[in-house]
Amino acid sequence: MTEPDPRRWKALAVSLVAGFMSLLDVSIVSVALPSMQRGLGTSPAGVQWVVSGYALAFGLVLVTAGRLGDAYGRRRVFLLALAAFIAFSALAGLAPTTEVLVVARLLQGAAAGALAPQNSALIQQLFRDAERARAFGFFGAVVGISTAVGPVAGGAILAVAGEDDGWRWVFYVNVPIGLVALVLAARLLPRASVGERGRLDLLGVLLLGAGVLAVLLPLVLAESGGLTALWWLFPVGAALLAAFVVWERRTAARGGDPLLDVTLLTAVPGYASGLLLGTCYFVGFSGIWLVFALFFQTGLGYTPLESGLAVTPFAVGSAASALVGGRLVSRWGRKLTVLGLALVVAGLVATGLLLRLAPPHLAGWWAACALLVGGVGGGWVISPNTTLTLRNVPVRMAGAAGGALQTGQRIGAAIGSAALAGLFYLVLADTGQDYGAAVSLAIWTAAGAVVVALGVAVWELHAVGRPEEGRDFAAAD
């Protein structure tokens, strides 16, 4: 076994800073949409693509970018993607029209999606055994914090920079941080490439991209009627993804270079169940943040900053427990995610009840403890599940495997955001604007999605059992 890279922890820190920026931009922009609408003189439907376009482009490129990193070097793909992310962040901030802003966000989302799988693959490449679990603990903390803290960061930037042009600084803030990260990444990330280059599976790229697009597009456009107008894309997407699986099997059988070796789902222990668990969890985890923003800002009249601060306990709990979870997962295995998912369910059920009963001016305080419990549980889900899902994946396939895992999470997030927001508005219409009833039912529905993830975790726990003490998570390499 080769000696570990002495700069691996510094390299991880730099890569996670870049990953934090790219994931933060999924949620930070939501609170700035009214400011953008006024500043650019456009309609709500026009600025909706600022959020939807980023999420769509992000999800489309994950697997392909992961495969490119596996074949051509993760450092190279990381640096190119980070440079593009910085450039398109600046373009978004400078955008004179809605059309330019939407194009910039699409390109920024694609760059962010190219960054994401390199992070998990670099952890697979640089770390072994318990160190890898700890590294994934930091990675999970970044995922959890970036999602939850986005509304707070966006509200703070608008409060400082002003309502008129403050939205531009939501994008500008990426530039200086990104440039520092780019310089450090060029110095610290390992130059060695893992695996052979081979040929890029272009038909696989087209089939997977078209399939994911067909599934995601109706979901990201749900607020503007996408589910009603574009429902027919779901069976099209299913057919394209089935064709992708058939093609990848044929490519591998012929000795070619598949975009994603689908035997990961059948031959690698824990990968398929971890992928399903992550997708189900993100339906509930990602969907609640839009519902919280609608409830606190539209229903209770909170400012964007106050709304973000109201859900901060979840982020705090998630960050703290994710760091601890990285040390526990090698000993507890799937038991840790079972415990984490149970706490998330308990926290969400209690939060829904408390927000239903709380006086408007005390709603954030009443829900704080319940959100903290849910956050602690969440920190024991994302990073441990990533560790357990990827632990038996060979390093040469880590980028594509990590990209597929995150694609499932993006699809789950899109489903959750569309379904929970739609349910929230439906209950509002049926109850005569009863925001308490709307938020509680939406949060309890999110808890239901987490219960499904809990069922998957319990099934795997009984089917596989507890991993051996000190097991080498790189055993497949």
User: 358-374: per-residue pLDDT in tens?
Assistant: 898 889 899 999 999 99
Please report whether residue 313 resides in a domain: yes
Residue 199 has pLDDT above 80, yes or no: no
Residue 93 has pLDDT above 80, yes or no: yes
| Same domain, residue pair 169 and 239 | no
Average pLDDT of span 375-401: 84
pTM over the 0.85 mark: no
Question: 249 lies in which domain range?
Answer: 201-258
pLDDT in tens, 129-188: 778 878 887 887 787 677 667 777 887 888 888 767 788 998 999 999 999 999 999 999
pLDDT at 68: 87
pLDDT at 14: 92
First and final C-alpha spacing in the chain: 10
Average pLDDT of span 440-457: 94
Last residue of a domain, one of 258, 280, 305: 258
pLDDT at 438: 92
| Same domain, residue pair 96 and 228 | no
Please report whether residue 475 resides in a domain: no
Please report whether residue 1 resides in a domain: no
| Same domain, residue pair 275 and 191 | yes
| Same domain, residue pair 245 and 316 | no
| Same domain, residue pair 188 and 213 | no
Q: Which DSSP state fits 296?
A: I
| Same domain, residue pair 35 and 175 | yes
pLDDT at 354: 95
Residue 470 has pLDDT above 50, yes or no: no
| Same domain, residue pair 234 and 97 | no
H helices within 73-97, ranges in order? 74-94
Please report whether residue 366 resides in a domain: yes
Q: How many CB atoms lie within 10 A of CB 396?
A: 20
Q: Which DSSP state fits 30?
A: G
Q: Is 98 left (phi over 0), alpha (psi -120 to 50) or beta?
A: alpha
**Within the chain, how many helices (H) and strands (E) appear?**
20, 0
Average pLDDT of span 272-278: 91
Average pLDDT of span 387-397: 81
| Same domain, residue pair 358 and 231 | no
Q: How many CB atoms lie within 10 A of CB 206?
A: 15
Per-chain mean pLDDT for the chain: 84
